[in-house]
Amino acid sequence: MAEPRPPAPPLDPHRIDALWQATAPKVSFAERRRRLRRGLALAAALPLIAGLGFWAGRAPSAEGLRAVGDQVASHSEPSRFTLRDGTVVEAGPDTAMTLSRLEEREIGLHLAQGQAHFEVKKRPERRFLVQVDDVTVTVVGTRFWVARRAEEVEVQVEEGVVEVEHQGQRSTLRAGQRWARPRHVTPPAAGPEPELDPAPIETADPDPPAAEPAPGPQNPARADRPQPRSVGKAERKRAEADRLFEAALEARRSGDPQAALQAFRTLVQAHPNHPRVALSSFELGRLEMDVAKDLDAAVIALSRAVRAGQNTSFAEDALARLAQAQAGRGDRRGCQEARKLYAERYPAGSYAASLATVCP
């Protein structure tokens, strides 16, 4: 086979122009068709929605959160529920929330732990608040998510506008922007340290730049905006995790399993919320088994991979590996549990035969 990767003939800029000219109408047509379909589906569903609305009005039972003080907690699985006003909340794994306010003009949630995505029904007459520690996020109608992690509080806006208030300072975030500040730090009496100041990361701003006044002392409204240092920290952390993941893959490709092992270990320990943590845990488990010969560590990593990576392409392998690792370290019960789970999920799986002989 040809190695390294053969270069494809280049696609010249004029050709790209021509391709875009041919593609743009197709994209636009598909977009219009999708909107039309959604509109038709909505029109068709109106009687059903009206009926459900009537029913909901009679029995206003939002799942989980009905009265002030009600709590919801998701464990290893994410959960989704709808509030009385139609707001849809998707709570990530290990997330805890309390309904702190339920009034005609204001609904409030307190995020005690974890992260959640909110799709808030647009109602100009009422405010929707999410409180995390001393940070308050206020919205009217939008989609956004809030995370309370060990080291920081983070808000990211998908659609619409939200206002974040922290220690008397307000920041307005638009679609595509995010805001973060470190946790567990008490600001000095003289005022907040610059590092603690929250700052929106302007990953996307749909408004043209001319609409925004320039920053500086002549423009206090803009100058009030927090400095980008703390946001840089969160971004740097994320970038560091991405780099570790790429470095680990690269080390594996180039035949350096020790380097891959170190990179995956660091990634899984230091960045447990990274989107590729399930895959990283699986790779780490394999390396702990095959390279480091540390079956205890392999079991920890593979258990995490099984928990976090359900319905992934490697889920079957992770479970089979977990049973083998448990057998290898002499944990008969752990092995049997993993084997049983494997048999339930993959009755005709590739490892069904080989697992039948471990921990009988």
Question: Is 55 an interacting residue with respect to another protein (CB under 8 A)?
Answer: no
In this structure, what DSSP letter does residue 166 have? E
Measured CA distances, 95 to 90, 100, 137 (Å): 10, 16, 17
Q: For residues 245 and 260, what is the distance between their CA atoms, to the nearest angstrom?
A: 9
Binders of another protein among 91-120, rule CB under 8 A? none
Answer yes or no: are the C-beta atoms of 322 and 297 closer than 8 Å.
no
Question: Is 159 an interacting residue with respect to another protein (CB under 8 A)?
Answer: yes
- Minimum CB separation of residue 7 from another protein in Å reads 6
Q: Helices marked H in the chain — which ranges? A: 13-58, 220-223, 229-253, 257-270, 277-290, 295-308, 315-328, 332-345, 352-355
Question: Is 31 an interacting residue with respect to another protein (CB under 8 A)?
Answer: yes
Binders of another protein among 194-233, rule CB under 8 A? 203-204, 206, 208-209
Question: Is 1 an interacting residue with respect to another protein (CB under 8 A)?
Answer: yes
Q: Nearest CA to 142 among 175, 166, 182?
A: 175
Contact with another protein (CB under 8 A): which of 86, 92, 93, 176? 176
Question: Is 8 an interacting residue with respect to another protein (CB under 8 A)?
Answer: yes
Binders of another protein among 262-291, rule CB under 8 A? 275, 279, 282-283
Number of continuous H segments (helices) and E segments (strands) in the chain: 9, 13
Q: For residues 259 and 284, what is the distance between their CA atoms, to the nearest angstrom?
A: 11
Nearer Cβ to another protein, position 11 or 44? 11
Question: Is 6 an interacting residue with respect to another protein (CB under 8 A)?
Answer: yes
Contact with another protein (CB under 8 A): which of 27, 42, 45, 356? 27
**N- to C-terminal Cα separation, the chain:** 43
Question: Is 14 an interacting residue with respect to another protein (CB under 8 A)?
Answer: no
Question: Is 42 an interacting residue with respect to another protein (CB under 8 A)?
Answer: no
- Minimum CB separation of residue 334 from another protein in Å reads 22
Binders of another protein among 114-153, rule CB under 8 A? none
Contact with another protein (CB under 8 A): which of 109, 111, 173, 175? 175
Question: Is 81 an interacting residue with respect to another protein (CB under 8 A)?
Answer: no
Non-local CB neighbours of 81 within 8 Å, separated by 6+ positions: 62, 63, 64, 65, 72, 88, 89, 91
Binders of another protein among 311-340, rule CB under 8 A? 312-317
Label residue 306 exposed, middle or buried (CB < 10 Å: 0-12, 13-18, 19+): buried
Question: Is 41 an interacting residue with respect to another protein (CB under 8 A)?
Answer: no
# binding residues, another protein (CB under 8 A): 49
Q: For residues 215 and 221, what is the distance between their CA atoms, to the nearest angstrom?
A: 8
- Binding mask 239-258 toward another protein (x if CB under 8 A, else -) reads ----------x--xx-----
Residues that bind another protein (CB under 8 A): 1-11, 15-16, 19-20, 22-24, 26-28, 30-31, 34, 158-159, 175-176, 203-204, 206, 208-209, 249, 252-253, 275, 279, 282-283, 312-317, 349-351
